[in-house]
Amino acid sequence: MKKEYRSAKFAGFEEQFRKYAAEPEDLDPVRMKMMKLSLDVFSRYPKDFKPLMNGRIRRPEIQAYEHYPIKERKEQRPDFPVREQRPDEVIEIFARRMHDIGIKRSVIFPNTLLVLGNYPDFELEVAVSNAYIDYMLDNFLGKYPELLTALYAPANSPDRAAELIERVGKEKGVIGVMVTPSRPGPFAGDESWNPIYEAAERKGLPICFHSEANVLPPFDRFKNFLPIHALSFPFHLIMQLTSIVTEGVPERFPNLDFVFIEGGVTWIPWIMSRLDSEYVMRKSEAPLLRKLPSEYIRKFFFTQQPLERAINAGHLEAVFRSFNAESQLLYASDYPHWDFDAPNVIFDLPFLSKESKKAILGENARRLFKIK
Amino acid sequence: MTLMKYPVAKKSEFSELKPVFLQVGGMKVAVYKFKERFYAYSSWCPHQGGPACEGIVVGNAEAELGIDRVVREYTSTDNFSIACPWHGVEFDLQTGVCRADPRMRIASYRVETEGDDVFIVK
């Protein structure tokens, strides 16, 4: 196993990557220093960042927050395990937790990789993304049917991302291509992303943009986590979606599906309306489009988490109707994160039919990801 | 309708701000002692159905505006809330009303005492 994951060895400087790394003690000290520096730059959370709000959030599974301050975790869990758990232990805990909230099968996304797209060393992203999927294939995928994942595409290096998609895109348990929306370089509508889309199209895999609480400018100017979290998730998605639509990716890749994850849903009609208005006036700047931006967006898929509170009666129903939620919305839990949604956020919505709830809570995902 | 009395515990068995749990008609209920008074709430969070009263009781995070319009934030030692452990949603310990959105509240129960005994009446 050591040899297999050697390609990711220089990722091992940081606790969150340790499980994918082979020999952290072998790390090149210069490279390690650079990595630490970049980590400091790109992890600029507010000074008194308290993700668990001084113990207000208190759940046994909270230990999964590997990136949370160790002191805060230890306060919650004095018995916090210090050793790595074996795959069978991980899957046992995982299945039990999922069962607790009524979920039989999950598509997981590698949370600890969400910041990777912002590291200045693109080779790191390539190495870790390969190591991650190899680790999952060797230990979980295909062995435990309750667990599926999307491969992480190192989108800063589109050709290398395409190679990875070609290499593992048809492996059992790999159901999509995950891309983090916050990253340097051109947005996802740019033609430089074509190799990723071509490879995903060949393998029949949807492109899944998984957003994050990013503290890069301008979000680093907020005083605390509430506004950072409220805005950064949907805004990163909005920027990538806008680029994809206005630069005509759905026309260039008509068979490719897109999923936008962890931004809630209330922004969707806003961007539909906003882009339609601009398009009507400035059609000449989006010559590839053959219909209104909102018509392309209605073909995209979205996840609801964290589902926003309705500001008045009928609000959420109108939002759901705007993007055909019955067929385009996928339930996502984000469990066990602090803002996770239990399935009842969908199940309790009074305006959805039983069939719509069933579709959103599982059937839409089964269809999109071709899960048997 | 006949009211039922559900014995909770002896007064002497309560610690300040520490819940004592019991089942009342199939519902998990928590009883708190605070400044010589008792408060009882259903441990079901109206936000997403979490076990509201299994979370911590915490001094309210409050803020006051000085005459210079500078904000001073502090933790209250007079007012406390129950924080649901699932998402941290806070409910006032003395009313059960959600601090952020008063349209939400945890269900409350009548508490009575007889001598050293504490009961919920329902």
A81 found inside a domain: no
Per-residue pLDDT of A138-175, as tens digits, reads: 989 999 988 999 999 999 999 999 999 999 999 999 99
Cβ within 8 Å, pair B58-A56: yes
Task: Tell me which chain B residue has its CA closest to the CA of residue A338.
Answer: B87
CA distance A149 to chain B (A): 25
End-to-end CA separation in angstroms for chain B: 10
Buried b (16+ CB within 10 A) or exposed e, A22-55: bebeebeeeeeebbeebeeebeebeeeebbbbbb
Per-residue pLDDT of A80-136, as tens digits, reads: 544 556 778 778 877 887 888 888 899 988 676 887 888 777 888 898 889 889 989
CATH number of the domain residue A348 falls in:
3.20.20.140
pLDDT of residue B65: 94
A210 found inside a domain: yes
B24-34: average pLDDT? 96
Per the structure, the complete domain to which residue A210 belongs is given by 89-368
A40 found inside a domain: no
Q: What percent of chain B has pLDDT over 90?
A: 97
**How many structural domains does chain A have?**
1
CA distance A40 to chain B (A): 28
B73 near B112, Cβ under 8 Å?
A: no
Say if residue B122's pLDDT is above 80: yes
Say if residue A29's pLDDT is above 60: no
B67-75: average pLDDT? 92
**DSSP string of B75-113?**
EEEEEEEEE-TTT--EEETTT-BBSS-TT-B--EEEEEE
A231 near A196, Cβ under 8 Å?
A: no
Give residue A194's pLDDT band: very low, low, confident or very high (50, 70, 90).
Answer: very high
Instruction: Give strand ranges (E) for A66-123.
Output: 106-108
pLDDT of residue A47: 62
Lowest mean pLDDT among A47-61, A214-228, B21-35: A47-61
Cβ within 8 Å, pair A54-B58: yes
Cβ within 8 Å, pair A59-B85: yes
pLDDT of residue A10: 35
pLDDT of residue A302: 98
| Chain B CB within 8 Å of residue A341 CB | yes
CA distance A335 to chain B (A): 10
Residue from the list A56, A57, A345 with its beta carbon closest to the beta carbon of B48 = A345
- The Cα A162–Cα A11 span in angstroms is 21
B36-64: average pLDDT? 96
B→A interface, C-beta within 8 Å: 48-49, 54-56, 58, 83, 85-88, 90, 101
A54 found inside a domain: no
Say if residue A32's pLDDT is above 70: no
A183 found inside a domain: yes
| Chain B CB within 8 Å of residue A54 CB | yes
A31 found inside a domain: no
CA distance B106 to chain A (A): 16
CATH of the domain spanning B5-121? 2.102.10.10
Say if residue A43's pLDDT is above 80: no
| Chain B CB within 8 Å of residue A344 CB | yes
